[in-house]
Every structure is written in structure tokens, then in C-alpha cells.
Chains A and B, each alone.
Chain A
Amino acid sequence: MAGAGGGGCPAGGNDLQWCFSQVKGAIDEDVAEADIISTVEFNYSGDLLATGDKGGRVVIFQREQENKSRPHSRGEYNVYSTFQSHEPEFDYLKSLEIEEKINKIRWLPQQNAAHFLLSTNDKTIKLWKISERDKRAEGYNLKDEDGRLRDPFRITALRVPILKPMDLMVEASPRRIFANAHTYHINSISVNSDHETYLSADDLRINLWHLEITDRSFNIVDIKPVNMEELTEVITAAEFHPHQCNVFVYSSSKGTVRLCDMRSSALCDRHSKFFEEPEDPSSRSFFSEIISSISDVKFSHSGRYMMTRDYLSVKVWDLNMESRPVETHQVHEYLRSKLCSLYENDCIFDKFECCWSGSDSAIMTGSYNNFFRMFDRNTRRDVTLEASRENSKPRASLKPRKVCTGGKRKKDEISVDSLDFNKKILHTAWHPAENIIAVAATNNLYIFQDKVN
């Protein structure tokens, strides 16, 4: 589907009019490597938005309650908690560093007042509990108010401590550490619909964990060849089905997706379904395999479809049809003629993620030059938008962008050669219920909302 993002979107219908809401992060031109955002995830209600960065930190934003005096303005997201999730480590056996970069964050469904999330780097997954404390006990028997121990012989009476209100404090504490189960780099974690187990996937293996048990995990997929010289394919992403707790999918660097059913056998090396689109022989090149490598796979909220992202396109698959996708959306087809340069500067290996809207009616993914693309599955329209400081006036509408592929460049269009390949949007997230999106542009987090009619 060619880009049809010119002009403004007409009001009404399913067309969304995206407006700038907020941007988080430093404005400096010099971006510290540690501040680069590496994952973005809304929780199940959408009230919390978590980001992880290359420095191993997690920042959680919370949506403020809507302001009654301004009913048309949605709640803003403000910092709720910041903590250091992972630290850099050194593997002495291999003489290699283990990066502290947070590869993925996944929230657990909320079961009590506290919030839980899983965060992972290349090797270790951690379960974090984020809880609020707004009361403090006063009147201890054995301690003074400043914490010093009282002399036991001076205590002549007993009293019951009283709870007094205090300033809200949000604490994050690691509750479980799931370590030493992955030889290769973890690329995905996914919480199961049973809310008791989750999977973690690295380049060659997928493990199943119970959230309560940290010293044991079950290996459910292993594609490591006996002879590593024969290795030609790796696992790139994995996810549990949103409703069927026995079903999960994993994607590969060869552009295939395998759906597995854990009921069929303990080791799911044999897939139940195999999704692969036959290659178009007319567009074959030495880069065909690389650009077919799937960087992200996501089930729709309904569980009927799944979406895969490869280098140039996003595909929607019906789980009942393995032979080809039901939809293919071109993200930046104009890059096809630049693949050689993109191979040279390694951009061809960039792993873009993708996400569904809450109703599954739209999908979104990132591109270069801080552009991101949205495809409406009902109207078949797509739009290219940009996350930039220039378009960051409050509630300003985002103007659709267009890339000029050749010939005369129109006003407001940008030519392919002018694109900034260092400004890549790899991570985006869509609020589970409303039209609010979070877009990570290097070290800045942009939040956009649909204009309330």
C-alpha cells in the first residue's frame, strides 16, 4: 500500500487526528548512550507507562487523574518511579561484558495495590514490585523517633504504634531474580494469560518460568544445532497467545513464524503451525534474507491475528492461514534501493517493533528520521508522522510527512537522501484502551493523543 499521507485527515469517521501531548527527556544535542530508550510498555490499564534504557534504568510514568475543570484535556503522564533495574556485569568465563541495557519490560496484571513488572537485559530477568507508601508508623517501643534504639531498662510502659500519613513514596524492590538460564542474548519475555508463568526467549532457546520459582526453568524450544557450524537461523521474538495459555509463537531470522502448543509435547521443537510467505522471485537480491528477518511479532488483542515486522514492511496474519499474510503494509519501501548502503552502515540490522491499537483497528511501527507510520486496517489509509521538538506545541496537530522517492521534490516533502538514519524509532506503544501513543526517539519519549472531538 503506497503512502497516502499527504494533506490533512478529514474529520469524522475512523480517521484519527494526532496531537502532541508531552515529551520527556533531555533536549541536549549530545545524547548520552545510557539515556537511549530501549523499551516502552503501557500496563494493562494504561495508567502506567514504563520505559527502560541502555543504562539499565526503568522510569515509570503515571497518568494523572483527569482535571475536572478542564474536561477536554486528558490526564498527563508524570514520573512515578525511577530505579536501577540492571547493572553492568562481567562474565569472567568468557571475558565479556554483559550489558545492562533493558531489552524488554512486561507488566503483570494488577492483583493488589502494588504493581509488578518483569524487566530483562541480555541474561537476567527480574520481577519488580512497585508499591506506594503513604503512611508511617510512629510510637515504636524499642526505637526513638529518629531510629535510635532505646535503652531497654528505660522502657516503663508499652504503647501501640500509630499510623500517621506521610508524603507519598513510591518504592521499587526486586522480588525475584531469574538468572543463569540463557547462554545467548534474551530478546523477548512474555507473560502468559494464566498470570502464573512467562516465557523468555534468546537467540536459540525459549524457556518457561513460573513467577514464583527462580531456580528452575523449563526449556520449551531449542533450535541450537549440534554442530554450531551449521547454524543458519536464530529466534528473533516470541510471545504467548493473549487468551490460550498453551499457545505461543516465535519468529526467526529467516522470516518465518512458528506457532507451538505446549500441550502437544514438553519440548516444542515441532510446531503446530508454520507461517511463511513465499518469496517473490522478481525482487530477490543478496539482501532478501536479511530484510525478511522478523524483528517483532505481536498477537492482536483479540487473539485472532498476529503481526510481524520485517525490515521494510509490517504483515498481518490470520492464525488460521499459514500460507501468506492477510495484509502487508509497506513502511519505507523507498529504502529498497538503498539496501547496500544500509547494509554497510549496519542499519539493515535495526530491529523495529510494532504494536496494535486497543481495538486492533490500527497498527503502528517506527522508521528513520524520527518518522513513525500508522496503518488503519479498516479505512486502508496510512500516515507518516514525525516525533520532533519542532512539532511540540501543546495540543498541536501533527502534520503528515511525506518522503519524496524521486523526481521533483514537492514543498514539505523530504528526499530519501536527506533522511537521518541515526534518528530511528524502534520502540512504540499504544494505550490498551484509548488513542494515546508513546514513541521513543533515541533519548526522548513522546506522547501523542488523538484530538478529542
Chain B
Amino acid sequence: MFARGLKRKSAEDGEDVEGGLAGAQAMPSYSLQRQSLLDMSLVKLQLCHMLVEPNLCRSVLIANTVRQIQEEMAQDGTWRVVAPQAAGRAPLDRLVSTDILCRSVREQEGERPAPDVGDGHTPDLVLGPATVPSAQALRSPQSSLWEVDSSRENRGGFQKSLDQIFETLENKTSGSVEELFADVDSSYYDLDAVLTGMVGSTQSGHGSGLQAFSSATAPPPSSSCRSDLGELDHAVEILVET
């Protein structure tokens, strides 16, 4: 179900040398990979180019991927609220989704499990690093990508619930994944109403269209993508003079 991840042959840490050998034998588990893909996708949706409008096709495809993962996880029953086994904090500057996909299993055992999402420690990252299943779950080199060893995963893995993730998103943004488009699009929609009125009309119609727009109580164009970055929020506020 999951495409095989590529082991990046990086010579950054000494860990890699050792980890590479073990990694060659055991792939990250399916559930872990799926979680990482979800995290990566959510981050991608948040990190939009601020100056230029985000590519709508790309956003739609990523959102569809997120939905797909969510649906599958809901079916699996792997969405549960789990008490985080916070033994420490993973470095915040690493997107652990990348780590988990591209580093070896052996390294992951050595990593600290992820901190609680809502601890407010990560103002810049939407999500904390992806959770790491327990060592027990990982020590199964035979678990292939194509079979979900659900019993072992459920016992060993602790994964954030859908609610927790969306709660995080709501703190930063103003809605769930579904509402990402609503937020991004609120200004589109209003402009759209103006433009559909303008299509078919002559230049003189512009005036009435713009008046209609300004009278609508449209929120400032604050796409969910932006609210991560405090400075840009501030800049937007200045621009719309709120």
C-alpha cells in the first residue's frame, strides 16, 4: 500500500553508519510510515508561499492524500487518544517525518518519543515531531510494508488522535483540514462574487462590483497558511488596518 521509502545515504552523523546496516534489514513499519506521511502532508499544507498564491492543484492533491490517510486510519481504528510517553523532547528543528522515512529503524529506537502536541513549545511548527512507536513494535524486521501487523502496532504504537492534531491546527489556523480551503478561499469567494458579476458587463460595471465587495463583511485575506508566522499576521493586520 505504501511506496517504499528511500534510505537517504547521509553522512551527517556517526549514527548513520551503524543505523544504515540495520536499516537495510528492517523497513519502518507501515503504520509509522503512514503517520509520517500524514504529518508531512499537514506541514506541506501549512507551509504555503506567502507572497504568491499557493498552487491550488498541489493543495488539493495533498489534502486528498490527508483525507485518504485519515479514512484508512479511522477504519483501522488506529485513531486513539494516547498518553504520550514523554521521556524527553526530540529536537524541534527536525521534521521527524523526514527522519522516520529516510533514516533507519535502528536510529529511531534511540530517539526520544515525541513531546505532547499541545504543550505550546512549538510555536513555529504546526505539529510536533511525529510520534515514534515503541521499540517493541520496531524490532520486527519481517513486518513488510504491505501487511499491517495491526495487533502489534496497536499495542506498541502511540499515535495522536485525529482530534489532537486538528486541535493543534485550530490553535494555529482556524479549522480542520476541510476548512483549510474555506479559509484560504474566503477572499477568493468574495472576489469571485465580484468577478462573476463583472463577467459580461462593461467597464462601467466595475464600480458597482467593487462597492458590493467592500460592503460585504469579508474577513481580511488571512489564509490558514499564514497564521503560523506571527510577523506576517502582524503585517496583514497593518495592511487591512484592523
**A interface vs B, CB < 8 Å?**
93-99, 122, 180-181, 183-185, 203-204, 207, 215-219, 224, 227-229, 231-234, 236, 253, 284-287, 289-290, 293, 336-341, 343-344, 346, 349, 417
Encoded as 1 (CB less than 8 Å from any A CB) or 0, chain B from 2 to 14 comes to 1111101100000
> With A228-B182, A289-B65, A340-B4 as given contacts, are A95 and B239 in contact (CB-CB < 8 Å)?
yes
Q: Considering only CB atoms and an 8 Å cut-off, how many residues of chain B contact the other chain?
A: 52
A-B contact pairs, 29 of them (CB 8 A): A94-B53, A95-B239, A95-B240, A96-B52, A180-B195, A181-B199, A185-B56, A203-B57, A215-B202, A215-B203, A218-B200, A228-B181, A228-B188, A232-B63, A234-B57, A253-B60, A285-B3, A286-B3, A286-B37, A289-B61, A289-B64, A337-B3, A340-B5, A340-B33, A341-B8, A341-B101, A344-B40, A346-B44, A349-B55
Encoded as 1 (CB less than 8 Å from any A CB) or 0, chain B from 169 to 190 comes to 0000000001101100101110
A339 touches B3 (CB 8 A): yes
Q: How far is the CA of A229 from the CA of B176 in the complex (A)?
A: 10
A219 touches B56 (CB 8 A): no
B51 touches A96 (CB 8 A): yes
Listed from nearest, the 4 A-B pairs whose CB atoms lie closest are A228-B185, A339-B3, A341-B6, A203-B56
B2 touches A229 (CB 8 A): no
Q: How far is the CA of A203 from the CA of B181 in the complex (A)?
A: 14
A167 to chain B, nearest CB (A): 40
Q: How far is the CA of A98 from the CA of B52 in the complex (A)?
A: 6
Encoded as 1 (CB less than 8 Å from any A CB) or 0, chain B from 189 to 207 comes to 1011001001111110000
Main SS class of interface, B: helix
B138 to chain A, nearest CB (A): 18
Chain B residues, Cβ within 8 Å of A343? 37, 40
Q: Does B25 contact A (CB under 8 A)?
A: no
Q: How far is the CA of A183 from the CA of B199 in the complex (A)?
A: 11
Most-contacted residue by chain A among B6, B68, B101 (CB, 10 A): B6
Q: How far is the CA of A341 from the CA of B5 in the complex (A)?
A: 7
A200 to chain B, nearest CB (A): 12
Chain B residues, Cβ within 8 Å of A97? 51-52
Chain A residues, Cβ within 8 Å of B239? 95
Q: How far is the CA of A207 from the CA of B198 in the complex (A)?
A: 13
Partner of B61, one of A215, A253, A338: A253
What residue of chain A has the Cβ atom nearest to residue B9's Cβ? A417
Q: Does B34 contact A (CB under 8 A)?
A: yes
Chain A residues, Cβ within 8 Å of B44? 346
What residue of chain A has the Cβ atom nearest to residue B220's Cβ? A95
Q: Does B1 contact A (CB under 8 A)?
A: yes
